[in-house]
């Protein structure tokens, strides 16, 4: 098989992965706290004679950590995180970070995420409230107040620079770098009564989808044309009977 055909096939592989990430992003564009998937491409160089041909790799998927838009809900148990910090929840896989601030209180007073996972305080302990003590006020630093008394604090956590985190469910991530508890709330904190949406731009994603689909079709045509040329060469140069 010739180098042009290999190039077209490798391009199809990269675009297939890109299409998968775009489809995932579009299906979650209404998911609160969702972080879009992106693909980072590099090239793998192979020497053929005196010339170098660069083949694109399949691509590495990573999670975009940029913030999403805020929507006012008026629900006192909804919180939107401000700044490059995260809420912490306890899951069977350990501590997971999330920006989905739709919280709820169980009949026993457990403060949980929308998926039923305990919300953690700064020390990593699940938070418990009094379900009979009235409405909860949530301060910008995550402090929880009932009847004028502080009864707990929502933990806010930040990740150190490092490898891209792993995805957990739709809106959660498992950090692959050290995590620290936030103590400086100058430019970071929470806003009560708001929910952060997905950081997906649907118009941009649809534009990407159209571009990638067209590029995929062009690569497929290149593969077919390359195979036709090879077949013609074999027919023309092969021994005649």
pLDDT tens string, the chain, 241 residues long: the values are 455 555 555 666 677 778 888 999 999 999 999 999 888 765 544 444 445 555 555 667 888 889 999 999 999 999 999 999 999 999 999 999 999 999 999 999 999 999 999 999 999 999 999 988 889 999 999 999 999 999 999 999 999 988 889 999 889 999 999 999 999 898 899 999 999 999 999 999 999 888 887 776 776 676 666 555 566 666 666 665 5
Give the model's pLDDT for residue 176: 92
- Only one residue has tokens 């969702």, namely 34
Per DSSP, the three-state class of 112 is strand
* Nearest CA-CA partner of 185 in 216, 156, 227: 156
- Asked if 109 contacts 131 with a C-beta cutoff of 8 angstroms, the reply is yes
Q: Indicate if 7 and 95 belong to the same structural domain.
A: no
Q: Indicate if 124 and 174 belong to the same structural domain.
A: yes
Q: Indicate if 49 and 136 belong to the same structural domain.
A: no
Q: How far apart are CA 84 and CA 236, in angstroms?
A: 64
Which helix (H) or strand (E) segment holds residue 22: the answer is helix 3-27
Q: Indicate if 31 and 107 belong to the same structural domain.
A: no
Q: Indicate if 102 and 214 belong to the same structural domain.
A: no
Give the model's pLDDT for residue 20: 85
Q: Indicate if 158 and 192 belong to the same structural domain.
A: yes
Give the model's pLDDT for residue 90: 97
Question: Is 151 contained in some domain?
Answer: yes
Q: How far apart are CA 38 and CA 85, in angstroms?
A: 20
Which helix (H) or strand (E) segment holds residue 9: the answer is helix 3-27
- With DSSP H G I counted as helix, E B as strand and the rest as coil, what are the percentages for the chain, rounded to 5? 25, 35, 40
Name the pTM for this structure. 0.77
Question: Is 241 contained in some domain?
Answer: no
What domain range includes position 47?
A: 3-64+200-235
Q: Indicate if 83 and 179 belong to the same structural domain.
A: yes
Give the model's pLDDT for residue 215: 72
Q: How many domains does the chain have?
A: 2
Give the model's pLDDT for residue 214: 78
Question: Is 228 contained in some domain?
Answer: yes
Q: Indicate if 83 and 164 belong to the same structural domain.
A: yes
- Only one residue has tokens 């100058």, namely 186
Q: Indicate if 89 and 185 belong to the same structural domain.
A: yes
Question: Is 156 contained in some domain?
Answer: yes
Question: Is 240 contained in some domain?
Answer: no
Burial state string for 19-52 with b = 16 or more CB within 10 A and e = fewer than 16: bebbebbbebbebbbbbbbbbeeeeeeeeeeeee
Which helix (H) or strand (E) segment holds residue 218: the answer is helix 202-237
Question: Is 230 contained in some domain?
Answer: yes
The distance in angstroms from the start CA to the end CA of the chain is 25
Give the model's pLDDT for residue 47: 46
Question: Is 56 contained in some domain?
Answer: yes
């Amino acid at each position: 098989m010739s180098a042009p055909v290999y190039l077209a096939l490798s391009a199809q592989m990269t675009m297939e992965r890109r299409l998968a990430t775009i489809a995932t992003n579009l299906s979650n564009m209404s998911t609160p706290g969702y972080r879009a998937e992106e693909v980072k491409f590099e090239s793998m160089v192979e020497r053929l004679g005196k010339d170098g041909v660069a083949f694109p790799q399949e691509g590495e998927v990573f999670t975009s950590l940029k913030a999403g838009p805020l929507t006012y809900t008026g629900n006192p148990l909804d919180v939107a995180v401000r700044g490059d910090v995260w809420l912490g929840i306890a899951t069977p896989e350990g501590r997971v970070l999330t920006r989905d601030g739709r919280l709820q209180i169980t009949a026993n007073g457990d403060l949980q995420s929308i998926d039923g996972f305990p919300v953690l305080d700064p020390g990593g302990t699940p938070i418990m409230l009094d379900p009979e003590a009235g409405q909860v006020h949530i301060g910008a630093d995550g402090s929880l107040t009932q009847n004028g008394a502080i009864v707990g604090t929502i933990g806010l956590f930040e990740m150190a620079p490092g490898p891209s985190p792993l995805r957990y469910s739709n809106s959660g991530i498992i950090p692959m770098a050290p995590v620290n508890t936030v103590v400086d709330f100058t430019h970071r904190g929470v806003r009560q009564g708001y929910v952060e949406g997905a950081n997906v731009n649907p118009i941009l994603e649809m534009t990407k989808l159209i571009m990638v689909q067209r590029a995929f079709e062009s690569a497929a045509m290149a593969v077919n044309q390359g195979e036709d040329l090879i077949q013609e060469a074999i027919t023309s140069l092969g021994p005649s009977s």
